[in-house]
Amino acid sequence: MLRLTVGPNGFNALPNVVSIESSACGDPAKAAWTFVNGGSTDWLPPLTVQAVENGDGGRMVYTGGNHGSSGSASGARTAANVGYQVLGVRDGASGWAESLTMLIDNELAAFNTIGQRRAVRQSFSLQITPGAVDVSALVTALERVEVLTDNALQMTTHGYQETVSFGGERMPFGLGLTSGPSATDRASTAEFASAANGLQLSWMDRAFGVGDGRYVAPDQPLIRMSANGRSSKAYHAAVLGTRLALEAGESYAWRGGYQWRAN
Report the alpha-carbon distance of residue 151 to residue 238 in Å, rounded: 6
Could you tell me the fold of the domain covering 2-261?
A: Beta-galactosidase; Chain A, domain 5 (2.70.98)
Q: Which of 46, 70, 47 is nearest to 58 (CA)?
A: 70
Asked if 82 and 109 touch (Cβ cutoff 8 Å), the reply is no
- pLDDT in 10s for each residue of the chain, 263 residues: 999 999 999 999 999 999 999 999 999 889 999 999 998 999 999 999 999 998 998 999 999 999 999 999 999 999 999 999 998 876 666 777 889 999 999 999 999 999 887 899 999 999 999 999 999 999 999 999 999 999 999 999 999 999 999 998 899 999 999 999 999 999 999 999 999 999 999 999 999 999 999 999 999 999 999 887 666 899 999 999 999 999 999 999 999 999 999 88
Report the alpha-carbon distance of residue 256 to residue 78 in Å, rounded: 25
pTM: 0.94
pLDDT at 243: 97
Q: Which of 83, 69, 167, 175 is nearest to 115 (CA)?
A: 69
The 8-class DSSP code of residue 23 comes to -
Q: How deeply is 4 buried, as exposed, middle or buried, from its count of CB atoms within 10 A (0-12, 13-18, 19+)?
A: middle
Write the single-letter amino acid at 176: G
Count of H-run helices and E-run strands, the chain: 0, 18
The strand order across the sheet containing 223-225 reads 154-156, 233-236, 223-225
CA distance from start to end of the chain? 11
pLDDT at 133: 97
The 8-class DSSP code of residue 168 comes to S
Sign of the dihedral defined by the CA atoms of residues 52, 142, 211, 105, in that order = positive
